[in-house]
Amino acid sequence: MTVASPGASPIRVLVVDDHPVVREGVTGLLARQDDMEAIGEACDGPDAIAKFRDLAPDVTLMDVQMQGMSGIEAIEKIRALSGDARILVLTTYPGDANAIRAIRAGASGYLLKNCVRTELIDAIRSVHAGRRVVCSDIAHALAEHALDEPLTEREAAILRLVAEGHPNKQIAWRLTLSVDTIKAQLKTIFEKLGVHDRTHAVTVATRRGYIDR
C-alpha cells in the first residue's frame, strides 16, 4: 500500500462497468489504497457521463463493451465535456483495433481486466500524473499490426453481417451495394487480415476488435 503524502488529496476515481461484481472488486481494491478513493460508480455510458459531470473525478475507469452506448462513445462525450479528463480503459477485450479507437477517442490508457490485481493501481497513478499506460499484451498487439492497413468502417460493417450469417446477396441489399462490390470488398478484407475465408476473417476481426463478440 502506498501512503499518501501529508496534505495531499487522494486520487478520486469513477468506476464504470456494467457488471456489479467488477465494480465491487475494483472499488474494494481502491479502498485499500491510502492515496485514492472510489467516489462513484456507473453501469453504462449515459450514467458515466452524468456521474462524470456531477462528480468531476480525477480518473475515470471505463469499460469498452456495455449495453447501449459503448465505452468508446462515452469517452468521446466525456472528453467533449472536459478536454482534461483522464480516462483509463479497463476491459476484457485485447484487440489492437479496440485500443486504437479508445486512444483516438481520448483515453489515456488501456488495461485488460486480467491485469487488475497487478497493474491497475500503478496505472491509475500514472494516468493521474499525465502519462499514458498500455498493458504489455496490448502493446505487443499494437506493435504486431502497426504496419497493417486497418479495416474501413464499411469493411467492418460487411464483416459484422458476415458474422451474423448473411450471404453476399443479403449483405449487398442491406448496405445498398452490388453483389460484385461485396465480393471485391471481401477480397480486400481477406488480404488486410491475412486470411482466406469468411470464417477465419470473422475470427481474426473479432480477436482484433473490429467487430464485437
Residue range(s) occupied by CATH 3.40.50.2300 in the chain: 11-144
Quick: pLDDT tens for 97-120.
888 989 999 999 999 988 877 899
C-alpha cell at 43: 453501469
Q: What is the model's pTM?
A: 0.79
Ranges in the chain, pLDDT < 50: 1, 3
Quick: pLDDT tens for 167-195.
999 999 999 999 999 999 999 999 999 99
Q: Which residues contact 115 (CB under 8 A, 6 or more apart)?
A: 135, 137
CATH for the stretch 11-144: 3.40.50.2300
In this structure, are residues 14 and 51 in contact, taking their beta carbons and an 8 Å threshold? yes
Q: Measure Cα distances from 140 to 59, 91, 133, 134, 143 in Å.
A: 25, 16, 13, 10, 5
Q: What fold, for 153-208?
A: Arc Repressor Mutant, subunit A (1.10.10)
Residue range(s) occupied by CATH 1.10.10.10 in the chain: 153-208
